[in-house]
Amino acid sequence: MKSIPEEASEVVMAGKCPKCQNMVGSVRAEQINITNNAGNAFAGAAYTCPHCQTILSVTVDPFAFKNEIAIELMKRMRGGR
């Protein structure tokens, strides 16, 4: 995993949690499953408040997504589908 440049890690754009009103300078990332209307499942990440665990955002897990793309590319390069 790439490390964040030191100068970038010093910049904190804190905001308040909408539930507990504590300042949030970092979040916890938790793995979740995301299912779309077609029933396809994806690895996801929920970003939660470190104080009260309220979900602040949900997105496709970028690491799992990157791995899935790499696996699919390797299959196609080998002639599979």
Amino acid at 48: T
Structure-block tokens of residue 16: 């308040």
pLDDT at residue number 1: 44
**42 CB-contact burial (10 Å; exposed 0-12 / middle 13-18 / buried 19+):** middle
Quote the pTM value.
0.65
- pLDDT exceeds cutoff 70 at 5: no
Which of 65, 68, 59 minimizes the C-alpha distance to 30? 59
Tell me the C-alpha distance between 28 and 36, whole Å.
24
Dump pLDDT digits (tens) for 33-74: 999 999 999 899 999 999 999 999 999 988 888 998 999 999
Mean per-residue pLDDT, 76-80: 84
Q: Are strands 28-35 and 15-16 parallel, antiparallel or unpaired?
A: unpaired
Residue 19 in 3-state DSSP? coil
